Amino acid sequence: MSKVKKLDNLGVSAFCESLGLMARAGIQTDEAIALLGQSRQTEGVLGTALEQMKQSVEQGKGLSQAMEEAGIFPAYALKMIRAGESAGRLEDVLMRLADYYRDQKTIGEKLKAAVTYPAAMLVMIIIVLAVMLAKVLPTFTDVYDKMTGSLAASSYSYIRWAYGFSWVALIIMILLALALLIGRAAWNSEKRSGLEKLLRKIPICENILQSMAMFRFTSALETFLASGEMQDIAVHESIQMTDYQPLEEKLKTCLHRMQEGHSFAQAAYDEQILEPVYGRMLLAGERSGSMESVLRRLTKLLEENAGNQVDRLVGTIDPLLSGVLMVTVGLSLLSVMLPLIGIMNTIG
């Protein structure tokens, strides 16, 4: 039996938003699913799933059960919708899930760009160096080899330097490209924790990982609270969404302090999980009874912060790799041109 393809973040966001808007307009769940199934934009995997969900709902099953049987929705969305149905806040949960998966899509695209651009630059540098070693340098070498006497011998060593420099640069670029490929594979495997430990030694990477994990936590916590869950249960469930061990350990400490009678905002502030200004926002929101709205604001701020840090990382890598390309090509060309200049001066 073939494995059912999961819906991507943007697809889940669009589905939840459409269903949430229909629920807000007073349309029943079975009618909303039927309307979505009639749209031309819901062909393929989603179209088939909607037809199956329609039949399940007509049989008296809940939305979460129908989505689970369809098999294309992530476990987190199913859990949240099940909680929303139990608390009678399905509309709010659907709209928050739409925002959550839309934000996940945005962050994912930024991270993909942060990896794709350096990979493309590395490939370009490798190709240029390979052409230099395979075509350009051998051509100049053949020309100088045909020259006899001391005319070329005095400056021929520059060519050897060009070969050596190009080979060293090519090997380094290939190793970097392999490291990038291995790192990407490790990120999606059981070796992710080891890669995270390595990345945490780089300040900018550590900040990105921390911001993204905190963004996932606050977004999940807001949605859980919107579904009517108790705060301690919401925190416990949201910890599983961080996918970042250092933050998980701090949050578990907060959860332990909550069991001792402290509020989450106070425990998070004392454990310095958030920056002081964000921690004070959370405290103020809890004391004023507007925890959900503060969490939503924090989620947006953390998303922007993570995105800005990813952009900063790409902005750092861009000139660095461009500089390596220009320096490598420039020095190699200069090395093969200097003997020619010497020869022309001798002839003149």
Question: What DSSP line would sit under 42-63, residue for residue?
Answer: G-THHHHHHHHHHHHHHTT--H
Q: Is residue 152 part of a domain?
A: yes
Confidence check: pLDDT of 233 > 60: yes
CA distances from 226 to 7, 179, 230, 268 (A): 23, 42, 10, 20
Q: What is the pLDDT of residues 234-258, one digit of tens each?
A: 888 888 878 788 888 889 998 898 8
The residue-averaged pLDDT of 305-320 equals: 78
The residue-averaged pLDDT of 176-195 equals: 74
Q: What backbone phi and psi angles, to 5 degrees, belong to 241?
A: -90, -10
User: Which residues contact residue 252 at a Cβ distance below 8 angstroms, ignoring those fewer than 6 apart?
Assistant: 239
CA distances from 168 to 63, 164, 323, 340 (A): 60, 6, 16, 24
pLDDT greater at residue 65 or residue 348: 65
Question: What DSSP line would sit under 207-237, residue for residue?
Answer: HHHHHHHHHHHHHHHHHHHHTT--HHHHHHH
Give the pair of three-digit tokens for residue 241.
């969404």
User: Which residues contact residue 98 at a Cβ distance below 8 angstroms, ignoring those fewer than 6 apart?
Assistant: 13, 14, 16, 17, 20
pLDDT greater at residue 6 or residue 127: 127
CB 64 within 8 A of CB 184: no
Return the closest-CA partner of residue 227 out of 39, 45, 97, 71: 97
Give the pair of three-digit tokens for residue 73.
């929705």
Question: Looking at the structure, do residues 59 and 115 belong to the same domain, yes or no?
Answer: no
Q: Is residue 311 part of a domain?
A: yes
- For the chain, the distance separating the N- and C-terminal CA atoms, rounded to the nearest angstrom, is 80
Q: Is residue 183 part of a domain?
A: yes
Question: Looking at the structure, do residues 250 and 156 belong to the same domain, yes or no?
Answer: yes
Residue-level pLDDT at 1: 40
Question: Looking at the structure, do residues 196 and 311 belong to the same domain, yes or no?
Answer: yes
Instruction: Tell me how many domains the chain contains.
Output: 2
**Helix axes of 137-145 and 157-187: crossing angle, nearest 10 degrees:** 160
User: Which residues contact residue 25 at a Cβ distance below 8 angstroms, ignoring those fewer than 6 apart?
Assistant: none
pLDDT bucket at 271, cuts 50 / 70 / 90:
confident
Q: Is residue 89 part of a domain?
A: no
Confidence check: pLDDT of 40 > 70: no
d(CA 251, CA 264): 9
Question: Looking at the structure, do residues 144 and 56 belong to the same domain, yes or no?
Answer: no
CB 123 within 8 A of CB 180: no
Query: With a threshold of 0.75, does the pTM exceed it?
Result: no
d(CA 54, CA 48): 10
For residue 38, give its domain range: 9-73
The enclosing domain of 309 has a CATH number of 1.20.81.30
Residue-level pLDDT at 2: 46
Q: What is the pLDDT of residues 124-140, one digit of tens each?
A: 888 888 888 888 777 77
d(CA 239, CA 254): 11
Give me the amino acid identity at 338. Answer: L
**Under DSSP, is residue 23 helix (H, G, I), strand (E, B) or coil?**
helix
Question: Looking at the structure, do residues 273 and 310 belong to the same domain, yes or no?
Answer: yes
Confidence check: pLDDT of 116 > 60: yes
pLDDT greater at residue 186 or residue 268: 268
